[in-house]
Structure 1
Amino acid sequence: MSVARLNMSHGSHDSHKAVIDLVRAYNATGRGCVATMLDTKGPEVRSGDLAEPVLLEPGQQYTFTIIEGETGKGSRVSVNYDGFIDDISVGDELLVDGGIISFVVRGKTDTDVLVEAVDAGVLESRRHLNVRGKSATLPAITDKDWLDLKFGVEAGVDYFALSFVKDAQVILDVKQWLAAQGSRVKVLAKIESADSVKALEEILDAVDGAMVARGDLGAELPLEDVPYWQNQIVQGCRRRGKPVIVATNMLESMVSNPAPTRAEVSDIAISVREGADAIMLSGETAYGKFPLKAVAVQSTVALRTEAAMTRYQGARRFGTDESAPIDWVTPPSRRSSSSASGPSDAALSEMFAYHSTTMANTVGAPLLVFSKKGGMPALLSHYRPNKTVFAFTDDAQVQRHLALYHGVIPLLLEFTDDAEATIDAAIAQLVARGHLLKTQVVALVQSGKRPIWRSASTHTIQVRRVERKHMGSSSSSLDDD
């Protein structure tokens, strides 16, 4: 796994801190790098407590009320949102937990909404409620969310995933707040509402990445629209060079079964082919019976799918024009025209990443890049090289941020003033970890706005071969070339 998600709809700050500590302890072993992502509860509409689950039959009448104190008495249950009455209309479709149960609204008063069950089902306490095609008129960030975000900053999480984002302003507000805290947490938007797809372009421009949260997205929009919007969100992030996660129901059957359905396997493969940076498990690992098997299945299917994808000699382009393969783009947010003094630094970095990828693909080499801020590894990931990007940084949080990016293995290394010694140390570390073999070549990339062992205007790429000096103590048993 690359990222541990902390779902703030459940658990306490203490329980989430315990998970963060476990991840930190794992990272400290040096065996891998796992980032932490705090997923806000957001402005959810939920039903209240029930004395016991309610068995519903088709056509059965039921009432949702905003009157406080109603705790599942008879055929009534409370709702945690006073504006529920105003947001709903007669004839609307009311969904419980994304469609496990559906109702048709038959009437309403100043305090009650009368509904009729469409299908049989069991209504339990504190269920999530959606109205098909509508978003609740709740504040974008709740008081609980702000408390959780403050906890996340203090606990040192790496990503915030904001729930039910309606427009770009909430992203900008959170980023401004983070800047005031001196925090470098990255902000992801969960695209999961009718409002969020209407404002998709402005949201993707503002965020550091996005999540396709298909559960609520499929409740607020017609189910047949979900694959279309998944593709739009993934490609929108790809065009901008931003990471994107596909989530919800990936291996839902493995909550209770030891093997996935064939459709679930295909779902993983489709998400990988579309260009997702990451695919996410939820209930499968949070409370499922087979969490380790679920992770193994997801990893195995993703790797097998990638192995079967077309290998390009050039960098893969995502969506630049209709005549190009769907796999190519120059991020519009960084596109820059030349001036009298030549291309901007950002444009040079982008072009350099593209041509570095092409060169690495041509010689069949993985890429080795040194980075202070993570910009060049992110660009290289965007161009989807055929081999792995080994990103070395001396900043542990940058290392964790890079864990989300496709094809990047982020590694921590102390940079010294001696460039050659540091490069040799990086190659030796890759050899020791089994990533490189003797005589194998690696494409060494030097670029970015913050130079390491070079002038700011210098961009270089070298092809280096693993030598005897990189083999460590085992080199004595190896023959010379």
Structure 2
Amino acid sequence: MRYRVLEPSSPRRPSQQSNAEPLHGRSGSPSRPVVATDALAGYSKGISLASDERSKPEMVSGVGMETVTDGSQFRKTKIVCTIGPTSNTREKLWRLADEGMNVARMNMSHGDHASHKAVIDLIKEYNKLNKHSIAVMLDTKGPEVRSGDLTEPIDMVGGQKYIFTIQEGADGSDGRISVNYDGFIDDCAEGDTLLVDGGILALKIISKTVRDVECEVIDGGIMKSRRHLNIRGKSANLPAITDKDWADIKFGVDVGVDYYALSFVRNADIIYELKRYLSKQGAKIGVLAKIESADSVSNLEDVLDAVDGAMVARGDLGAELPVEQVPLWQSRIVSGCRKRGKPVIVATNMLESMVTNPTPTRAEVSDIAIAVREGADAVMLSGETAYGAFPFKSVAVMATVAKRTENAMLSYSGTRRYGSDESEPIDWIVPPFSSSKPGSSITSVGLSEMFAYHATTMANTVKSCLLVFSRKGNMPALMSHYRPDYPIYTFTEDVHVQRRMAMYHGVTALQIDFKPDAESTFDAAIEELKARGFLRGGQLVAIVQSGRDPIWRAASTHAIQVKRVPDDPVVQPSIDD
């Protein structure tokens, strides 16, 4: 490693702070100016959760981040938005990006390939116009056990008894309800609790035959057609990837999505199977496991070794496990991903009340803050942006809460603040030596981790952002793990890497053509950031080159240099004779 500070040869002058008025993006404009501030100047203007979303002068269009030269002004936690009927048009997608969306989630449980492709095409258009990127995540439906069609909804009352049967045609008219899974009987046992839609209704299994399961209502409610059924503490013995899932996965390859979120993962084997398929297709698509079943919790370490990231899917997880265990498992999953340097999303019911209400509950605000403090890379909105009445306010609220929580954490001392006490030692990324399975870590040796840590520490010390030049995205992913105080700007030639980085905490990726020599590329990158308002003259930047995938060096050498951003040349007024 080498460290050096480069001063500009031209004399410095006091920098001028831009007073450009921000564009709120209501007309679908892809970009708007931002205002650069002094490093660690403090956050002096904020967003009230009770205020109208149009009063947010500091939001940066598209990037979903505020003024980014100051660590306290930069939202590092990413936001995943589920796209649905209230958000699937060009204008609405632009608006979501304007409010802070970083990743668009396609829920394959709803819609068809044509409708999803239309949305993905719009996102590609947005990315092409804006240079920064919104990533696309395809969420598979997964294997599900569902009830059949009913002639009419049933008002189930506590103490009543109903029959769930694998016999087709049972429509509820005689107290018998069909189930679409022949193995349902084998999975049931007397005394088990049958949950409907994750616990909206609960029934106790009191007896069973070869075709029927008799249940007594514990927690009543309205039973409707085609409801999701599961037995608490058990996973259905269904194929991990269904025929529909494989069709959707192939669709994702064809349209070029960036991530798969694989539903109801039970063990690592299915992850490796999917990765082998993607390798044969030549597809560079990350695989995230949705941790939402009892089996996935039991096999958590192996699953996290295998995947490229994970989602804490708290809805089904709380149905298969006692609900009071969900916060504990959330912390363990986030911690497990953090130690492996892999992105993790916290999802489900983050702002559920905002599906119908314009303001969140206090508990929801705390829920987002807890996920941020634990160190989640991203937080996710589901119905709030898919079919809710206030999709844009939901994103604005989530962005505000995340940023303010991060700002409070910046006041701590020490190196690590996310997901631990400040006195806790550095937890190096889990090395791969304990596992012979492929994909157990994003690095093969410890040198890259050590370099990323020391580069992050140095950037924090000199109060500079990080400029990382990377072919494959490995080094910015490692640096994201250490949660630097300041932004990580990743420059890459690969637009796929650019989009993949949209999931990582604190990383903003830009596509750039690498020039034959490094210094010219560095200068071009700095000018690009200055043009966007992300840097200004006089600031220090830490420039990082990864030795794992060298760009300008034949030898595999990690390098870092600290450079001062040159001021713009002073233009002297002309004097007419």
Bin of the TM-score, shorter chain as denominator length: over 0.9
User: What does residue 38 of structure 1 align with?
Assistant: 138
What is the alpha-carbon distance in structure 2 between the residues aligned to residue 305 and residue 477 of structure 1? Answer: 45
**1:376–1:448: 8 Å Cα contact kept in structure 2?**
no
Specify the code of the residue in structure 1 equivalent to 2:473: G
State the Cα deviation string for residues 354-391 of structure 1 (Å, max 9, x = none).
Answer: 11001000011110011100001001101110001000
One-letter amino acid of the counterpart of residue 131, structure 1: I
Q: CA 1:447–1:121 in 2, change beyond 3 Å: closer, same or farther? A: same
Matched, 1:329 2:329: no
Give me the TM-score of the superposition, normalised by structure 2: 0.77
CA drift at 1:448: 3.2
Which residue identity is paired with 1:244?
A: V
Q: Deviations over 1:34-78 (max 9, x none)?
A: 111111111111111223222222112222211123334342221
TM-score normalized with structure 1 length: 0.92
Q: Deviations over 1:66-115 (max 9, x none)?
A: 11233343422211111001101121111111111111112222212121
Q: Give the Cα separation in 1 of the matches to 2:522 and 2:510.
A: 13
Deviations 1:319-363 (A, max 9, x none): 8xx997458421123579xxxxxxx98322211111100100001
Which of residues 245, 248, 262 is equivalent to 1:145?
Answer: 245
Amino acid across the alignment from 1:355: H
Report the AA paired with residue 517 of structure 2.
D
- For 1:173 and 1:149, locate their aligned partners in 2 and report how far apart those are by CA, in whole Å: 12
State the match for 1:258 in structure 2. 358
**2:531 maps to 1:432:** yes
Matched residue SS, 1:280? strand
Indicate how the Cα distance of structure 1 residues 16 and 323 shifts in structure 2: closer, same or farther if over 3 A, else same: closer
Shift of 1:227: 0.6
Please give the residue correspondences for 1:410-421 in structure 2 after superposition, counting only pairs within 5 Å. 410-421=509-520
For residue 17 of structure 2, what is the aligned residue in structure 1?
A: none
- Further displaced range: 203-212 or 111-120: 111-120
Aligned twin of 2:165:
65
Query: What amino acid maps onto 2:314 in structure 1?
Result: R
Instruction: State the SS of the aligned residue for 2:397.
Output: helix
CA contact (8 A) 1:317 1:326 kept: no
Report which of the two has the higher share of helix.
Answer: 1
1:242 pairs with 2:349: no
Letter matched to residue 481 of structure 2? H
**Worse-superposed segment, 323-332 or 19-28:** 323-332
Aligned length: 465
Question: Aligned pair in 2 of structure 1 residues 455, 271: CA closer, same or farther (>3 Å)?
Answer: same
CA spacing shift, 1:154–1:409, aligned 2, 3 Å: same
1:380 equivalent in structure 2? 479
SS of aligned partner of 2:177: strand
Alignment of 1:430-469 (within 5 A): 430-469=529-568
Deviation at residue 25 of structure 1 after TM alignment: 1.1
1:7, distance to aligned residue in structure 2 (A)? 0.9
Match of 2:182 in 1: 82
Deviation per CA, 1:262-315, whole angstroms, max 9, x where unpaired? Answer: 000000000000010000111111111111111111111001000100456764
| Matched residue, 2:28 | none
Which residue matches 2:463? Answer: 364
Distance 1:374 1:31, change over 3 A: closer
Given the alignment, which residue of 317, 322, 346 partners 1:222?
Answer: 322
The alignment status of 1:400 with 2:502, answered yes or no, reads no
How big is each residue's C-alpha offset from its partner over 1:391-445, in whole Å with a ceiling of 9 and x where there is no partner? Answer: 0111010001111000001111111113222111111111111111221111111
Partners of 1:191 and 1:45 lie apart in 2 by 17
Question: Given residue 169 of structure 2, which amino acid in structure 1 is its aligned partner?
Answer: G
Segments of 4+ in structure 1 off by > 6 A?
none
The residue type paired with residue 273 of structure 2 is: D
Mapped partners of 1:313, 1:265: distance in 2: 25
Aligned equivalent of 1:301:
401
Question: What is the alpha-carbon distance in structure 2 between the residues aligned to residue 24 and residue 53 of structure 1?
Answer: 42
Instruction: For residue 230 of structure 1, report the CA deviation from its aligned partner.
Output: 0.4
Alignment partners' CA distance in 1, 2:514 and 2:241: 40
- Contact 1:5 1:39 (C-alpha < 8 Å) held by counterparts: yes
Tell me the residue number matched to 1:340.
none
C-alpha contact (below 8 Å) 1:239/1:329 kept by paired residues = yes
Q: Which has the higher contact order (CA 8 A, sep 6+)?
A: 2
Q: Secondary structure at the match of 2:205?
A: strand
1:317 CA drift (Å): 7.8
Report the CA distance shift for 1:312/1:461 in structure 2 as closer, same or farther (over 3 A).
farther
Secondary structure at the counterpart of residue 114 of structure 1? strand
Matches of 1:40 and 1:326, distance apart in 2: 38
Work out the CA distance in 1 between the residues paired with 2:492 and 2:138: 23
* CA-CA distance at 1:477 after TM superposition: 8.2
SS in 1 for 2:523: helix
Aligned to 1:28: 128
Distance 1:57 1:253 in 2: 26
Does structure 2 conserve the Cα–Cα contact (< 8 Å) formed by 1:313 and 1:361?
no
Contact 1:49–1:71 at 8 Å: present in 2 too? Answer: yes
Structure 1 residue 119 displacement after superposition? 2.2
2:367 is the alignment partner of 1:267: yes
Instruction: Rate the CA distance shift 1:54–1:328 in 2: closer, same or farther, 3 A.
Output: farther
Structure 1 position 136 matched with structure 2 position 236: yes
Uncovered stretches (5+) of structure 1, i.e. residues with no partner: 337-343
Aligned counterparts of 1:425 and 1:369: Cα–Cα separation in 2: 13
Aligned residues of 1:317 and 1:330 also touching (Cα < 8 A): no
CA distance in 1, matches of 2:162, 2:425: 50
Alpha-carbon distance, 1:208 to partner? 0.6
Q: 2:450 aligns with which of 341, 346, 351?
A: 351
- Return the letter of the residue paired with 1:75: G
Q: Structure 2 unaligned runs (5+)?
A: 1-100, 435-442
Aligned residue in 1 for 2:117: 17
CA distance in 1 between partners of 2:227 and 2:367 (Å): 26
Using the alignment, how far apart are the partners of 1:334 and 1:433 within structure 2?
Answer: 39
1:318 deviates by 7.3
Partner amino acid for 2:429?
Answer: P
- Alpha-carbon spacing, 1:477–1:443, altered in 2? closer, same or farther (3 Å): farther
Please report the RMSD computed on the Cα atoms of aligned residues, expressed in angstroms: 2.1
Change (3 A) 1:125 1:382: same
Partner of 2:219: helix, strand, or coil?
coil
What is residue 14 of structure 2 aligned with on the other side? none
* C-alpha deviation, 1:457, in angstroms: 2.7
Q: Distance in 2 between matches of 1:91 and 1:457?
A: 61
- The answer as to whether partners of 1:416 and 1:422 remain within 8 angstroms in 2 is yes
Contact 1:353 1:380 in 2 (8 A): yes
Q: Name the CA distance, whole Å, in 1 between partners of 2:138 and 2:316.
A: 18
Instruction: For residue 118 of structure 1, give the secondary structure of its aligned residue in structure 2.
Output: strand
